[in-house]
């Protein structure tokens, strides 16, 4: 993944935010929305695009766009930086290949400890019962 090319491919849109700011919030568009077209990207290889399509299927629109918004701060520039950072970390996290899990068995000592504690609990509960009269 080439981050410089990826950043140049992003489309930004400024929207009016609903956060703090009083009258200022009604006049300025401080919330930033970023759109990234996954299929048309030159920053990603085909295998990376396929992996992202599989992992981020719920976040990709029907046209193939990944869209994120940020309206946390009152500054459009800071919101733009935050949303770029979020998009890059989202892509990097989902491009990682998970290591295959190795099956393991519990150790003999762990099995013995488990069985011992089960027997102790059973004995504790059986001692709570009233004695049987025959």
Interval 76-97: pLDDT, tens: 899 999 999 999 999 999 888 8
Q: Give the Cβ contact number of residue 124 at 10 Å.
A: 9
Whole-number Å distance between alpha carbons of 52 and 95: 7
The answer on pLDDT for 12 being more than 80 is yes
Cα first-last separation, the chain = 79
Tokens for 50, please give them: 């396929």
Query: Residue 4: is it exposed, middle or buried by C-beta count within 10 angstroms (0-12/13-18/19+)?
Result: exposed
- CATH class in words for 3-95: alpha beta
| pLDDT tens digits for range 95-108 | 888 899 999 999 99
The answer on pLDDT for 109 being more than 90 is yes
User: Does the global pTM surpass 0.85?
Assistant: no
- pLDDT of res. 131: 82
31-37 β-sheet, strand order? 11-15, 31-37, 65-70
- pLDDT of res. 32: 92
The answer on pLDDT for 11 being more than 80 is yes
- pLDDT of res. 21: 66
| pLDDT tens digits for range 17-44 | 776 667 776 788 888 999 999 888 888 8
């Amino acid at each position: 993944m080439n981050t410089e090319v990826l950043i140049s491919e992003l489309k930004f849109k400024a929207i009016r935010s609903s956060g703090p700011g009083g009258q200022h919030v009604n006049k300025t568009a401080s919330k930033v929305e970023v759109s990234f077209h996954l299929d048309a990207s030159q920053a990603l290889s085909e295998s990376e695009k396929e992996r992202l399509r599989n992992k981020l299927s719920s976040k990709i629109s029907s046209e193939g766009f990944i869209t994120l918004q940020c309206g946390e701060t009152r500054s459009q520039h800071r919101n733009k930086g935050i949303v770029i950072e979020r998009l890059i970390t989202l892509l990097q996290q989902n491009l990682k290949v998970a290591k295959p899990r190795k099956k393991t068995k519990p150790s003999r000592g762990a099995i013995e400890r488990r069985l011992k504690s089960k027997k102790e609990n059973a004995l504790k509960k059986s001692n709570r019962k009233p004695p049987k009269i025959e």
